[in-house]
Structure formats: structure tokens, C-alpha cells
């Protein structure tokens, strides 16, 4: 069925449609998911029987927050949270941060937090779109650690970064070079990272974490002389072998 076979009384106000929406509407039957296409036409047929006229229009995300948020939701069981006892140890050593850069309303460690998707209670959306001028706490997705380190340098930011204890990763020497205080190491533990339903992280048996106070500002780094980046990985492996569980 092509566009010209749609029920005649259904009128489309194309002037209000964003270009991508217009193309999708015109190619309605050619959508990737046939089951969704079938549901769409069932709905259109129902509207035709009830003599209901439909108007399609584009609503900006900022004016349609509830629907936009729902469309971007992922399973809450993927929102793992650092154990509260571990976080308490971090702020005892490094001080309390002003903002959590990678969080949701479920796991935010600060009153101010930045979410990945639109959230009515977050300070901003997408930490990489704002300036990191406040003393921050960041536990980024593992795939974004390199980007977070580069952002620290770019903004000359200072804050707390939590990363996996993976010395073989290419980003680890850079992490070590930005340290301005001796890092904390949390050995693998089933209670170290928990989902909202308190299930342990799938990698809990072998995932250790490192928390460090970092700065991209050269004057700040004068207060602490970190190990040479080439030696950071070697020392971390030794520390992991000797450190005791903190909880």
C-alpha cells in the first residue's frame, strides 16, 4: 500500500512536519519493522471507521518532555550504582563534589547531576555538551573514559573520576598522568556495583575500580607528582595484589 491509498479523509498538515518525519510518513509501509507498520494501519483503519481526522505535527523535545523521555528510556537494571560505602570513602579522601556528571535520578551521588537523556530533575543533559567548571564526580560508561579524560584536559577541570582497574587499556597512562592525589583502589566485590534492584554487576567477580582526583590544569598538578605514565600500570598491578577490601 502506497501513500495515495491512505484513507481520503485523513489529512496531513505537511507544513508542520520535520523533514525526517515527512519522509517516514511517505514511506510508511517501507518502515524497518513490519509489525509496527501493521499496528499503524490498524489504527488508521479504526480512525476511518470512527470518522476521525488525524493531523501529524512536529513537537520539539523540550515541549514534549514526557513522551521524549519515555522514548529514550533504557532498562533501569543497566543503571549500576557505586556502593554507598565506597562512595563515602571517596569523599572522605577527595572531598565532596558539587556535581555528578554521569547519572540518573536513580543513582545520582550529588544534588546536581547531569543525565544522558532528558530528565526533569537533572541540571543538564549530556555531560560533554557543558563546561566542567565545577568540582565534579564522574563514573562514566567504560566506552567514554577516553572522552572524559580529554574533556578534563580541554576544560582544565578538576574532579573525581572512577574507572575500572584495567592497566592494559590505552587510556590508563593518561589517567595516571592527570592524578593530583594518590588514588583509591576498590577490589572486585559483588556489592561494589549494584543495580536498582540490588543485583551485582555481571563482572563483579573480576571488576576492580580505581578512584582518583584528577586535574587538567597544570598549576593544580604541582601539588602532587604522579607516577610517570609508563610506570602507572606496573604500580597499579602491584597495588591490586596487596590492597585489602574496603568493605
Tell me the pLDDT tens digit for each residue of 185-210: 999 888 888 777 777 788 878 889 99
Q: Is the pLDDT of residue 126 over 50?
A: yes
Looking at residue 59, its pLDDT comes to 60
Mean pLDDT of the chain: 76
Contact 90, 160 (CB under 8 A): yes
Looking at residue 32, its pLDDT comes to 56
Of 29, 58, 87, the residue at which a domain comes to its end is 58
Q: pLDDT-derived band of residue 153, with 50, 70 and 90 as boundaries?
A: very high
Looking at residue 124, its pLDDT comes to 93
Q: Are residues 46 and 100 in the same domain?
A: no
Q: Look at residue 110 and tell me if it is in a domain.
A: yes
Q: Are residues 114 and 221 in the same domain?
A: yes
Q: pLDDT-derived band of residue 72, with 50, 70 and 90 as boundaries?
A: low
Mean pLDDT, residues 132-160:
94
Looking at residue 37, its pLDDT comes to 72
Calpha distance 214→97 (Å, rounded): 12
Q: Are residues 18 and 94 in the same domain?
A: no
Mean pLDDT, residues 17-30:
47
Higher-scoring residue by pLDDT: 62, 138: 138
Q: Are residues 87 and 29 in the same domain?
A: no
CA distances from 180 to 48, 91, 107, 175, 215 (A): 67, 15, 26, 10, 7
Looking at residue 97, its pLDDT comes to 96
The three grid cell numbers given for residue 49, joined into one nine-digit string: 471507521
Q: Tell me which DSSP letter residue 200 carries.
A: B
Q: Are residues 109 and 154 in the same domain?
A: yes
Q: Look at residue 204 and tell me if it is in a domain.
A: yes
Calpha distance 57→16 (Å, rounded): 5
Contact 207, 193 (CB under 8 A): yes
Q: Is the pLDDT of residue 177 over 70?
A: yes
Q: Are residues 130 and 195 in the same domain?
A: yes
The three grid cell numbers given for residue 165, joined into one nine-digit string: 582497574
Q: Look at residue 64 and tell me if it is in a domain.
A: no
Q: Are residues 86 and 170 in the same domain?
A: yes
Mean pLDDT, residues 3-27:
46
Number of neighbours of residue 106 by Cβ within 10 angstroms: 11
What is the residue range of 220's domain? 76-242
- Whether this prediction's pTM lies above 0.75 is answered by no
Q: What total of structural domains would you count in the chain?
A: 2
- Exposure on the CB side of residue 180, measured as CA atoms within 13 A: 19
Mean pLDDT, residues 20-35:
52
Q: Are residues 145 and 114 in the same domain?
A: yes
Q: Are residues 205 and 160 in the same domain?
A: yes
Higher-scoring residue by pLDDT: 118, 222: 118
Of 13, 29, 58, the residue at which a domain comes to its end is 58
Report CA 149 to chain centroid distance, whole Å: 15
Q: Which CATH number goes with the domain that contains 202?
A: 3.40.50
Q: Are residues 93 and 122 in the same domain?
A: yes
In this structure, of 38-52, 101-115, 151-165, the range with the lowest mean pLDDT score is 38-52
Looking at residue 217, its pLDDT comes to 85
Q: Is the pLDDT of residue 9 over 90?
A: no
Mean pLDDT, residues 3-32:
47
Q: pLDDT-derived band of residue 20, with 50, 70 and 90 as boundaries?
A: very low
Looking at residue 94, its pLDDT comes to 96
Mean pLDDT, residues 8-23:
44
Q: Is the pLDDT of residue 108 over 60?
A: yes
Contact 198, 153 (CB under 8 A): no
Q: Outline where DSSP puts E strands in 89-220.
A: 99-100, 112-115, 124-125, 136-138, 158-164, 184-186, 193-194, 209-215
Amino acid at each position: 500500500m502506497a501513500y495515495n491509498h491512505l484513507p481520503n479523509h485523513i489529512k496531513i498538515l505537511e507544513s508542520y512536519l520535520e523533514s525526517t518525519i515527512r519522509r517516514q510518513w511517505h514511506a510508511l509501509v517501507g518502515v524497518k519493522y513490519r509489525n509496527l507498520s501493521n499496528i499503524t494501519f490498524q489504527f488508521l483503519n479504526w480512525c476511518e471507521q470512527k470518522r476521525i481526522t488525524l493531523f501529524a505535527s512536529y513537537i520539539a523535545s523540550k515541549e514534549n518532555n514526557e513522551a521524549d523521555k519515555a522514548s529514550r528510556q533504557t532498562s533501569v537494571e543497566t543503571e549500576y550504582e557505586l556502593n554507598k560505602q565506597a562512595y563515602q570513602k571517596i569523599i572522605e579522601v577527595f572531598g565532596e563534589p558539587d556535581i555528578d556528571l554521569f547519572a540518573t535520578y536513580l543513582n545520582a551521588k550529588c544534588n546536581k547531576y547531569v543525565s544522558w537523556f532528558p530528565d526533569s530533575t537533572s541540571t543538564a543533559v549530556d555531560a560533554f555538551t557543558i563546561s566542567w567548571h565545577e568540582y565534579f564526580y564522574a563514573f562514566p560508561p567504560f566506552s567514554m573514559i577516553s572522552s572524559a579524560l580529554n574533556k578534563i584536559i580541554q576544560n582544565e577541570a578538576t574532579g573525581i573520576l572512577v574507572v575500572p582497574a584495567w592497566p592494559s587499556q590505552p587510556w590508563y597512562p593518561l589517567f595516571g598522568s592527570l592524578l593530583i592525589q594518590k588514588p583509591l583502589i576498590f577490589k572486585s566485590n559483588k556489592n561494589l556495583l549494584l543495580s536498582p534492584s540490588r543485583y551485582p554487576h555481571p563482572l563483579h567477580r573480576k571488576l576492580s575500580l580505581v578512584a582518583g582526583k584528577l586535574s587538567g590544569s597544570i598549576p593544580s598538578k604541582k601539588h602532587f607528582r604522579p607516577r610517570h605514565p609508563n610506570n602507572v600500570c606496573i604500580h597499579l598491578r602491584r597495588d591490586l595484589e596487596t590492597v585489602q577490601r574496603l568493605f
